[in-house]
Amino acid sequence: MASSTEFSLARTIALLKRTPAAFDALLRGLPEHWVHTNEGKDTWSAYDIVGHLVVLERTDWMARLHRILEHGEALPFDRVDRFAHLKDVQSGSLEQRLDDFARLREQNISELQALNLQPQDLTRRGSHPALGPVTLAQLLAAWAVHDLTHLHQLSRVMAHQYRQAVGPWSAFEGVLQCTGHSAPP
Amino acid sequence: MASSTEFSLARTIALLKRTPAAFDALLRGLPEHWVHTNEGKDTWSAYDIVGHLVVLERTDWMARLHRILEHGEALPFDRVDRFAHLKDVQSGSLEQRLDDFARLREQNISELQALNLQPQDLTRRGSHPALGPVTLAQLLAAWAVHDLTHLHQLSRVMAHQYRQAVGPWSAFEGVLQCTGHSAPP
């Protein structure tokens, strides 16, 4: 099946609903070593990644959606603090963060569905402080792809812990060839 | 926490036990479009990826482990058919493939644990048809990292479907910068 450039609200919600459970299934109860190791100085561990997802779930996505609905392009989005989860003195266990992510996502999806957005709403525009004009549909698509970006990062961070352990197989494991693709939010 | 080069059987099993549920949580019940789209000609969809994981679970990892225990380096591993899942006339629903992956993985982990491998077993060597000498520990580490390679691929394949939909956010979503890192198994 060819890929489509078309945005679908139902498809977006279906993905957003599932990602917290995917992070949970992979991480909950794992030995500490998988959870707290990173890729080196100033990089994120699995624990950090889940913390970042919690912060954005609480402060970012729905706030931006409401900003579009209430102010359009007149009032740009607030900037995201990508390091907020690091400032919070590393609070909460991984399990608490996974619980928070699931609960906040569920609340946000309920709120999103209650808005009963219509096709014309999806084309409403807001203003991103760095990217300029964006539509509501683009915001929702970016929310879903942001989950996938961090799942992609998570798989790479975890695989990195076994970079030496796999020996000659390192040449064949695609995830070990990934150099990361960080960019500001 | 710094990363470690040390292999741990318990840590490896902990990860191998969780990955099927992570794929399941992300994929089961998702709209068809997420499941069957790929990244273009001769690339894999989510459905293909899970099929590949099932095939290797059935034919590869434990067979190679037994080959090491029984023949050491004297008899190289059989080659993996990376495209076996494509030849099987695309059989089985995604849900059946997810069930198969979980069931086969559980059986394989039980079998692995029943072997009660000792530290000296982990250093036993086998022969990979392309990579040459490898240890049993390296095989087990590669098995776990192979799961992560395909989780990494899965996140990229799915994000690709929204490459256009995210609009200007494409610059900020790391997973959309990934060019893939395929290599033979």
Q: Which residues of B touch A148 (CB under 8 A)?
A: 155-156, 158-159, 173, 175
Q: Could you tell me if A61 and B36 are in contact, meaning their C-beta atoms sit under 8 angstroms apart?
A: no
Amino acid at A38: N
Q: Is the pLDDT of residue A185 over 80?
A: no
Mean pLDDT, all residues of chain A = 92
CB contact under 8 A, A153 and B162: no
Q: Tell me what percent of the residues of chain B surpass a pLDDT of 90.
A: 82
Per-residue confidence at A180, pLDDT binned at 50, 70, 90? confident
DSSP letter for A79, please.
P
pTM: 0.94
Q: Tell me what percent of the residues of chain B surpass a pLDDT of 70.
A: 93
- Model confidence pLDDT, tens digit, residues B81-127: 777 767 765 679 999 999 999 999 999 999 999 999 999 999 999 99
- Model confidence pLDDT, tens digit, residues B38-61: 999 889 999 999 999 999 999 999
Q: Is the pLDDT of residue A87 over 80?
A: no
Query: Coil, strand or helix: which one is A179?
Result: coil
Q: What is the mean pLDDT of residues B164-185?
A: 83
- Model confidence pLDDT, tens digit, residues B68-82: 999 999 999 998 877
Measure in Å the smallest separation between the Cα of B137 and chain A Cα atoms.
7
Tell which of A152, A170, A178 to mutate to test the B interface (max B CBs under 10 Å): A152
Closest chain B CA to residue A145 = B159
**Top-confidence residue, A84 or B107:** B107
Report the pLDDT value the prediction gives residue B185, as an integer from 0 to 100.
Answer: 43
Report the pLDDT value the prediction gives residue A182, as an integer from 0 to 100.
Answer: 64
> CB-based contacts of A167: which residues, under 8 Å, 6+ apart?
B134, B135, B138, B141, B142
- In A87-115, which positions are buried (b, 16+ CB within 10 angstroms) versus exposed (e)? eeeeebebeebbbbbbebbeebeeebeee
Q: Is the pLDDT of residue A3 over 70?
A: no
Among A17-31, A78-92, A149-163, B14-28, the range scoring the smallest mean pLDDT is A78-92
Q: Is the pLDDT of residue A88 over 70?
A: no
Q: Is the dihedral of CA B171, B173, B174, B180 positive or negative?
A: negative
Q: Tell me what percent of the residues of chain A surpass a pLDDT of 70.
A: 93
B8 token code pair: 């741990």
CB contact under 8 A, B135 and A21: no
Inter-chain CB pairs, A–B, below 8 Å: 249
Total Cβ atoms within 10 A of residue A4: 14
Q: What is the mean pLDDT of residues A116-139?
A: 97
Report the pLDDT value the prediction gives residue A91, as an integer from 0 to 100.
Answer: 80
Measure in Å the smallest separation between the Cα of B98 and chain A Cα atoms.
14
> CB-based contacts of A132: which residues, under 8 Å, 6+ apart?
B168
Would you say the ipTM is above 0.85? Answer: yes
Amino acid at A61: W
CB contact under 8 A, B163 and A5: yes
